[in-house]
Amino acid sequence: MADLNNLISPFFLNEKEIRKIIELVFFSYRDFTAGPDQILEKLNFGRAHHRVIYFVGKKDKITIKELLRVLKITKQSLSRVLNQLVKEGFILVSTGSDKRTKNLSLTTSGLSLENELSTIQITKIKKVISNFNKEDIDGFIKILYEMIEADNKATFQHLNE
């Protein structure tokens, strides 16, 4: 992944500079989730609902088990959030071909909410990266990816097959 002719020493960034990165991650993540949080609040939903809507939108007919692997929460935690989304008409549950499983899909209003929430984040990213060149964007994406642990890399890849 790295160009061997251009490898930096691990000490190119000293500890003080690394600490700045820790802060940038904290502040940027908080600001990144703040937009959707505001929309969700009006519906009496939280970030957990957003995640479910996002990943059901990402992978139509996703099963409970798959969703649990992505979210890494307990089924009891998912259950509460999911039941609310179903009851309020944002998600539709159907039985899978393996009749033990269930397939989740967004309803029309689910799709609409998903869109509203994602648009905020997509617009933000588009706006930010429009000020950078291909090399910067590549670096951003590649390093983000390498920050992920192996098992979640697999989950990410699987989601994007």
Instruction: Specify the stretch interacting with a copy of itself by CB under 8 A; choose among 6-14, 60-68, 74-82, 88-96.
Output: 6-14
9: alpha, beta or left, given left = phi > 0 and alpha = psi -120 to 50?
A: beta
* Binding partner of residue 45 among a copy of itself, DNA, none, CB cut-off 5 to 8 Å per kind: DNA
**43 touches a copy of itself (CB under 8 A):** no
Residue 129 interacting entry, from a copy of itself, DNA, none, C-beta within 5 to 8 Å by type:
a copy of itself
Collect all residues with Cβ–Cβ distance below 8 Å to 75 and sequence separation of at least 6.
64, 68
Stretch that binds a copy of itself, among 17-25, 75-83, 85-93, 98-106 (CB under 8 A): 17-25
List the Cα angle 20/1/133 in 5-degree steps: 60
Q: What is the rounded distance in angstroms from the CA atom of residue 65 to the CA atom of residue 111?
A: 21
Residue 131 φ/ψ, nearest 5 degrees? -95, 5
Q: How far apart are the first and last CA of the chain?
A: 20
Contact status: 108 vs DNA (CB under 7 A) = no
Write out the residues near a copy of itself by the rule CB under 8 A.
Answer: 1-3, 6-8, 10, 12-13, 15, 18-32, 34, 51, 54, 58, 72, 118, 121-122, 124-149, 152-153, 155-156, 159-160
